[in-house]
Amino acid sequence: MEQLKSYKELFPFFEGISANEMKINYVKKKFPKGETIFHEGDSCAGVPFVTKGCIRVSKFGKNGKEMSVYRVNAGETCILTVSSILSNEPYPLTATVEKDAEAIILPYQDFKLLMEVNPHFQEYIYKTISLRFLEVIKIIDEVIFQSIDERLVKHLLRYTKNDGDLIETTHDKIATEIGTVREVVSRLLKEMERKGWIQLSRGKVTVVERSKLEELMKDKKL
């Protein structure tokens, strides 16, 4: 009981769980970077509540192309796992550990029990579903209605705040994030470097003139 309550800073609903509810079964697991927790089509036996690290949830196309959909960080749960368990459907995407992770795994029956009897737990799950749904809608909007140029600029702005800020990444990783292929990302980045807006080096992108990127997003003339 006290072990679960020790995670109340990450998951406040643990504080409101009664002694009887605390008798639920759970497993604490560690996942090394690079491990695939769920493949598309896998069945889900439990719901992970991440206490450390980061898990990336992505979609693979038939051509092998990958696109990131969302990430599950410390203090969050994978809402697609919840959906799979409640609907008794297979996991629809692929979940891979991006940073060494640890999680509390609630088995199917114990998860359902808390959903039925604990309003704090229910509120947390429903809120997480709502926020993640809005996040996915935003991604769909970007992929359908924004050009690759816009998505790339938005990505660079998201991970920097000032001139000289550096992003440790690769062209492959950026392509995965914005839903395109490495060759397109490389071409666009080299064009930005030629204009003096960014500087490229192995595994790094340095934003030199962030204001130019902001102007492009405002004008949408790339």
Neighbours of 222 (CB within 10 A): 15
Residue 41 to residues 5, 38, 100, 131, 189, Cα–Cα distance (Å): 33, 8, 24, 24, 35
61: Cβ contacts below 8 Å, ≥ 6 apart: 67
Which pLDDT belongs to residue 222?
44
Helices 79-87 and 108-117 cross at an angle (nearest 10°) of: 90
SS3 of 135, please?
helix
List of domains in the chain = 2-144 (2.60.120.10), 146-219 (1.10.10.10)
- CB-count exposure of residue 46 (10 Å: 0-12, 13-18, 19+): buried
Q: CA 175, 130, 25, 110 torsion: positive or negative?
A: negative
- Tally helices (H) and strands (E) across the chain: 8, 8
Give the pLDDT of the chain (222 residues) as one tens digit per residue.
456 767 888 988 877 776 666 667 889 999 999 999 999 999 998 999 999 999 999 999 888 788 999 999 999 999 999 999 989 999 999 999 999 999 999 999 989 888 888 888 999 999 999 999 999 898 888 888 889 999 999 999 988 988 888 899 999 999 999 989 999 999 999 999 999 999 999 999 999 999 999 988 887 644
Query: Can you give the pTM of this predicted structure?
Result: 0.79
